[in-house]
Structure 1
Amino acid sequence: MKTYKLTAFEANGEKLVDESFQADNDDAAKKRGEQLLSEKNLLEKTHRCTSPSGKLLLFHT
């Protein structure tokens, strides 16, 4: 398992979510990131999910 990072922000830069989670691969991490954002009603907020190597998996402004 790899550790991925999910962050979400308000327009003023305030962090709403800043957490790490585990996934087997990038595809699973992308799905898990979307699920976490959906559960927290943050899909429309600025967010990103990155892989351990720094690859951007999700991004929304």
Structure 2
Amino acid sequence: MKTYKLTVFEQDGEKLLDDSFQAENDDQAKEIGQKALEEKGFAEKTHRCTSPAGKLLLFHN
């Protein structure tokens, strides 16, 4: 399992969410990250999900 980071920001730069989660691979991490954003109501906020290697998996500005 690898550790991925999910971060959500307000337009003024305030951090709303800074979370880590485990996934087997990048595809699973995308699904988990997207689901978490939708459940928490952050899907339309500025967000990013990154892999342990720093690869950007999800991004919305």
TM-score range, shorter chain: over 0.9
Deviation readout 1:9-33 (Å, 9 max, x if unpaired):
0001011100100000000000000
Report the aligned-residue RMSD. Answer: 0.3
For structure 1, the residue ranges without an aligned partner over 5 or more in a row are none
**Identity level (%):** 70
Residue 7, structure 1, aligned to residue 7, structure 2? yes
TM-score by length of 1: 0.99
For structure 2, the residue ranges without an aligned partner over 5 or more in a row are none
Deviation readout 1:1-55 (Å, 9 max, x if unpaired):
0000000000010111001000000000000000000011000000000000000
Count residues with an aligned counterpart. 61
Task: Tell me which residue corresponds to 1:25.
Answer: 25
TM-score by length of 2: 0.99
